[in-house]
Copies of this chain bind each other. A is one copy, B any other.
């Protein structure tokens, strides 16, 4: 046993979403869709007003049925959170309790850490109009409050689940925050780009556009920067070569490749 930390035994799934006394089936269904949007699947329902199962919830959750089918029903919040180690309560308004308050973003990072250490988490959402009662907030370790326009911060149940779930999802999303979609073509190699610059500048010289020798170097730099900025693909460069040819006719020398290379690297 020595040296074994049982809390590190394995990861658990994402946080449980615990809907406390939800009223409308449509809202349960909307929350289920939002959960599945964010990769969350552990739904717990505490005393839904209209009983369970609920046909309206099923209709609204279309496409996210897998979450709905696995939902668990509880009579009391205390039972719904019994197996969890960290519980968060979502509230929009100040409850005048002494309690740690986190943004969903910070809570998401914290929950990723907890669940990665095998410590199960759950998030309480109250009924639609009134939210959680204070006795249920007092069962939580931490309050979650979504930063929104203070003059208009009311969200419906599905939207509240979506924002909290979205932060959970993005906290674990390893995709790049920016990338260039290039479809079926690849970004051009620099050799391909320089070959186009050679062709383009050769035709600009021939047309007389670059005849001002003093301004020529700066103009060439500016044009190169313009096309660099557009980050053309190999296919797009072929299109641009074709446009040049359409404007001024085919290049005169057949051995353009070597010639262009030399000029571009000078």
Contacts and interface: CB of A to CB of B under 8 A. Distances in A.
B183 A169 contact: no
Interface string A15-40: 00000000000000000011011110
Contact of A97 (B38, B146, B151, B181): B181
A36 B155 CA distance: 11
Given A159-B34, A233-B98, A181 B148 contact: no
Interface string A49-71: 00000000000000110000000
A9 interface: no
A184 to B, nearest CB: 7
Interface stretch (A171-179, A211-219, A249-257): A171-179
Contacts of A210: none
A157 to B, nearest CB: 12
Contacts of A155: 37, 162
A103 B177 contact: yes
Interface in A90-141: 94-103, 105-106
B183 A106 contact: no
A182 interface: yes
Contacts of A181: 94-101, 143
B163 A100 contact: no
Contact of A166 (B152, B163, B233): B163
Interface residues of A, number: 52
Number of copies: 2
B177 A99 contact: no
Contacts of A149: 36-39, 169
Nearest to A179: B101
A242 interface: no
Contacts of A106: 177-178
A103 B39 CA distance: 18
A178 B148 contact: no
Contacts of A64: 152
A75 to B, nearest CB: 29
A207 interface: no
A40 to B, nearest CB: 9
Given A147-B169, A236-B98, A103 B178 contact: yes
Nearest to A185: B98
A2 interface: no
Interface of A: 33-34, 36-39, 63-64, 94-103, 105-106, 143, 146-149, 151-155, 158-159, 162-163, 166, 169-170, 173, 175, 177-185, 231-233, 236
